[in-house]
Structure 1
Amino acid sequence: MTPTPLASSKLRSLAFLMVAQIAGMSLWFMSSAILPDMTAEAAISDSRQALLSSAVQAGFVAGALASAILGLPDRYDPRRLFALCAVGASMANLSLLISTPGSDLAIAARFATGALLAGVYPVGLKIAVGWGKDDRGLLVGILVGALTFGSAAPHLLALLGGADWRWTVSVASIAALAGGLLVLGSTLGPYHASSGHFDIRAIATAWTDRKVRLAYAGYLGHMWELYAMWAWIGVATTASFSLTMVMAEAVTLGRIIAFGAIAAGGIACIIGGLYADRLGKETIALIALAVSCASALATAASFGGPVWLTCICALVWGASILPDSAQFSALVADHSPPDKAGSLMTFQTALGFALTFLTVQVTPVLADAVSWPVVFSIMALGPAFGIVAMLRLKHLTSTAAVR
C-alpha cells in the first residue's frame, strides 16, 4: 500500500526531528563525559566540577521558565525556535575550547548551553504531539528516546576521542549545529495548535487541573533520580569497579556502563511508547517507576561486589529510569488545551530540571559524606513518590471513563 502524502510527511518530519534531537541533546552531558580528561589537564575543585554539570540544569530552568511564561512554543513556529536554539547552543558549547577548564567562563558557557536547550527538547515535544492523538504515547516515546541517545552520545564520543576532550566538544557542537538546520526540513502536523497571544494564565492549568497536576507530580518524582543518575552513574560505577579492578580499567568500564545505561533507557522508552497507547500511559509509567525503584536499590546493594552484577543492575536501572518520562509529557499534552500544550510541557520540564539542579549538585557531595549505596537508596524515593501520583491519576481517569 502506497503511503498517503500526510503519512509520508509525518514519517519524514519525525525522522528529521529525531535526528535533530539526538544531535542537539548531545551537548547536555558534555562536561560529565570529558571531566576526567579536563581534570587531568587542570586542577578543578570538587565544587566547580559539580557546577559544570549543574550549570546546564540551572540554565535550562531559566530558559524553560522564560519560554513557558512567554508562551514561545505556542506563539511562534516551533521549528524555527528549535533551529535558532540548537545553533545557539552549539556556539555556546564551542566556547569551551577557548576557556580554561573549570573557569567562570566555562561554567557560564554551560549555563548558556542549558538555557538554549530549553528551546530544543520541550519544543521538539510540541512538534511531535502535533502529529497524532491515538499514537501520542509512541510519538513522545520516540522523541524522548532520541533525547536519551543524544544524552548518551558524549560518553561515546569521549571514548572515541580518548584523552582529547576538545575533539569531543568540537564533534558534538558541529552535530548540534547540523541538527538545528535539519529540523527546518520538517513540517507541522494536523494536530498542531498555536496561540496568537501572550497569556501568562496558561501555566496556571498546571495547578488548577487535577489531572495535569498529578502528571506533574509523577514527573517530579521521576526527575528526582533521573539526572542525578545520568550525570554521576559513570563516576559511581567507576568507584565501585575500582575496588576490585585497576583504576584505568575501571574508568574505561565506567564510561561504557554510563553510555550503555543511558542508551538502554532510550531503547526502552521507544518500546514503552509502542504499548502506552494500548495499555495506558499511566500503566507504562507505573511499571517503569516500580522497576526503576527496585533497580536503584539493587545497584546500591551490589556496589563494590562482583563487577558483572553491578553492571547488570546499572543497565537495568538505566533501561527502566526513562520510559515513564515520555508518558508524563504525553499525559500533560492529553489533558491540556491544545493551544497551551507547548507552554505546559515546557513549564513541566522547567520544574523538573529545577529539581535536578539540586540533586545533581548535591549527589557527589552526599556520596563523599555517606557513600554511593546510600545515595542510590535516597534516589529510589523519587519513583516511589511517582507511583503514588500515577495510581491516583489512573483511578481518576478510570472513574471519569465509567461516568
Structure 2
Amino acid sequence: MKNGKWWALFLIAVAELFALSLWFSASVIVQELRDLWALTPATEAWVTASVPIGFVIGALFSSYLGIADRFNTRKVFAVSALAGALLNLLLIFSQSAWIGIALRILTGVTLAGVYPTAVKLLSQWFPKKRGVAIGILIAALTLGSSLPHFIVIFFLAVNWQMVIVTSSILALTAAFIVYFLLKDAPGSPGKTPFSFKLIRKVVKNKPVMLANYGYFGHMWELYAMWTWLPVFLTASFTAQTTEVSTWFIALASFISIGIAGGVGCVVGGLVADKIGRAYLTIISMGVSGVCAILIGFTFGQSIWLTFALAVIWGIFVISDSAQFSAAVSEFADVEYVGTALTFQMCIGFLITIFSINLIPLLQGTVGWQWVFSLLSIGPVLGIISMVKFKSYEISDSAQKASNKAT
C-alpha cells in the first residue's frame, strides 16, 4: 500500500504537470497572436483572462452538479485533459481573435475537471498527512503552468504553432497516464447521488469556509503575479539594459514561477505537516505580501536584484497554496469533498479575473513601481482568516491525539 500510494502520487503529479501546460500556452505567444489575430489592447486582455473565465464557468457547473463526487474522479480527469488538449490544438487553425478566445474559454472549462479532481484523487490515496502529497501536486501544477515559458525557449524561434502542439501532446499524455496507468485508490467511495444540498453543506462548514477565505486572498495575488511578472521582468530588464535577450527573460520567468514555486510547494508541504497548515499559510502570505510591495522598487535597477526578489516571491506566493486544499479535504465530509474543492477553486479563480485585469489598468497610472502593491491586499485578508482557522486546526489535532491515546 505504501509503495502504491507514492506511485499514485508520482503519476498524478506528472499528469497534472503535463495537463496544466495548457493554461498559459497562448499567453506566452501573444505577440505572435497579436499580428495573426489583429489584437487590440482590449482583445489581448481577453486572451489573458479567457482561461480563468472558462475555469470559473467549468468549476461552477461542476460544483453545482457535484460532478467530482457523482462520477469516477480518475475518469473525469482523463476526459477533461483529453478535451483540453483537442481544444488547445484547434488554436493553430483559428484566424479570428474571438474564435481563439472562445477556444481558450472552453480550454479553461476543461481544466476545471483537471485541477480539483487531482486534489480529490490525492485525498483518496492520502487520507492522512497529505500536506506533503498535495504540496508535490501543487508543485507540479506550478511547473506545468510555467512550462510554456520553457517551451518557448526552444520552439518559438522555429514556429509558434509548435508551442501549442507541444502543450496539447503533453495534455494527451496526461489523459493516458491517469486513465490507463493510475488505478483507483483502495476503498475510494463510489458515485455519490446528486443533491443540491452539497453546496449548502460546504457553505455551512465554518472551518472549510475560513480556509476558503484564506484561499481567496491567496488567489487575489497568485495568478496576477504569474501573469504579469514576465511582463514586469521584460520591462525592468530592458529599462536597465537593451542587450538582454528574449530567451533569458523567458528562462528567468520559468525559474521565478516554475522552479522557485515548485520548491516552495514541496518545502511548504513538509513544513505544514510539522507546524500546522495555519501557521505555514500565515508565514507564506506575510512574506509574499511584502515581496509584492518591494519588487516594484527594483524596477530598472540591477537585473540580478530584481531576479533574486522575483525568485523569493515565486517561492512564497505558492508555498501555501496546497494547504488550503488540504484543509478543505480534511474538514469537509467525504460525501462532498470533491464539490467543496471545486467550489473553493471556482470562487478563487473568479477573483483572479479581477486582479489580473486590474494590473494593466493601474500600471499606466501608478507605474511598475507601485502596481504590484495592490496584490498585497489579498495576503493581508487571507492572514486574518487563517488566524481564525488556527483554533479549529488546534482543536482537531487535540481531538485526534485524544482518540489515538484511547
Q: SS at the partner of 1:51?
A: helix
Other structure's SS at 2:22 match: coil
Provide the residue aligned with 2:41 in structure 1: 46
Which residue identity lines up with residue 208 of structure 1 in the other structure? Answer: K
Q: What's the counterpart of residue 60 of structure 2?
A: 65
1:242 matched to 2:216? The reply is: no
Q: 2:10 aligns with which of 6, 15, 29?
A: 15
Q: Name which of structure 1's ranges 39-48 and 127-136 shifts more when overlaid on structure 2.
A: 39-48
Instruction: Verify: 1:82 aligned to 2:80, yes or no.
Output: no
Deviations 1:172-219 (A, max 9, x none): 101101111111121232463345211122122332121111100000
Structure 1 residue runs of 5 or longer lacking an equivalent are 1-5
Report the AA paired with residue 171 of structure 2.
A
When normalised by structure 1's length, the TM-score is: 0.94
- 1:223–1:356 contact (8 Å) kept in structure 2: yes
Partners of 2:355 and 2:67 lie apart in 1 by: 28
Q: CA RMSD in A?
A: 1.7
Residue 3 of structure 1 is matched in structure 2 by: none
Matched, 1:376 2:338: no
- Identify the match of residue 351 of structure 2 among 344, 351, 355: 355
> 2:342 maps to which residue?
346
Correspondence for 2:274: 278
Provide TM-score, normalisation by structure 2. Answer: 0.94
Residue 393 (structure 1) aligns with: 389
Aligned ranges for residues 108-119 of structure 1 at < 5 Å?
A: 108-119=102-113
Cα distance, 1:28 vs structure 2: 0.2
Once the two structures are superposed, what CA deviation does each residue of 1:77-121 show, in whole Å capped at 9, x if it has no partner?
111110100000000100110012x61110011001000000001
Q: State the number of aligned residues.
A: 396
CA pair 377-219 structure 1, distance change in 2 beyond 3 A? same
Q: 1:385 to 1:167 in 2, by over 3 A?
A: same
1:21, distance to aligned residue in structure 2 (A) = 0.5
Q: Distance in 2 between matches of 1:332 and 1:193?
A: 18
> Which runs of no fewer than 5 residues in structure 2 stay unpaired?
400-406
* 1:125 to partner: Cα distance: 0.5
Contact residue 8 and residue 125 of structure 2 kept, 8 A: no
How many angstroms apart in 1 are the aligned matches of 2:376 and 2:241? 27
Q: In percent, how many aligned pairs have the same letter?
A: 35
Distance 1:384 1:307 in 2: 28
Residue in structure 1 matching 2:211, options 204, 209, 215: 215
Q: Give 1:198's aligned residue.
A: 194
Residue in 2 aligned with 1:141? Answer: 135
Which moved further from structure 2: 291-300 or 54-63?
A: 291-300
Give the drift of 1:253. Answer: 3.2
Q: Which residue matches 2:248? A: 253
Structure 1's consecutive aligned runs of 4 or more residues displaced over 4 angstroms after TM superposition are 399-403
2:113 matches 1:132: no
Q: Indicate how the Cα distance of structure 1 residues 42 and 208 shifts in structure 2: closer, same or farther if over 3 A, else same.
A: closer
Instruction: Please tell me whether the aligned partners of residues 195 and 340 of structure 1 are also in contact (alpha carbons under 8 angstroms).
Output: no
Cα distance in structure 1, aligned partners of 2:245 and 2:393 = 48
Contact 2:207 2:331 in 1 (8 A): yes
